[in-house]
Amino acid sequence: MATGWAGDGAVQDQIDATVKDAIERARSRLGTGPGRADCEECGESIPDARRKAVPGVRLCLACQVARDEEEAGQAGYNRRGSKDSQLR
């Protein structure tokens, strides 16, 4: 029976689900394999230190920064964790 009130631990469940989603999203973006010697965007050589530090690297640092900034602008708004959505 719905009472109109959230059950015990409902807020923590929302927080846990949000964190789990973020972890899964980050893991899905991790590269695997040997990676590339040259950037697939601009063709510049990828330094050995970067290739050792980032498994499966495909982009040079400059191209990766540009891609990250582009994707950050496309990030969605998480209403599940929004206090306003809980008040309505």
Closest by alpha carbon to 46, among 33, 36, 56, 34? 36
Residue 80 has a pLDDT of 60
Read off the pLDDT of residues 53-70 as tens digits, 9 standing for 90 and up: 888 899 999 999 999 888
Cα(25)–Cα(71) distance, integer angstroms:
13
Residue 1 has a pLDDT of 44
Domain locations along the chain: 30-73
Residue 79 has a pLDDT of 57
Residue 8 has a pLDDT of 80
Read off the pLDDT of residues 4-57 as tens digits, 9 standing for 90 and up: 676 788 888 999 999 999 999 888 877 777 889 999 999 999 999 999 888 889
Is pTM, for the whole model, over 0.85? Answer: no
Closest by alpha carbon to 64, among 33, 32, 30? 30
N-to-C CA span, the chain: 20
Rounded to 5 degrees, φ, ψ at 38 are -120, 145
**Could you tell me which residue, 84 or 65, shows the higher pLDDT?**
65
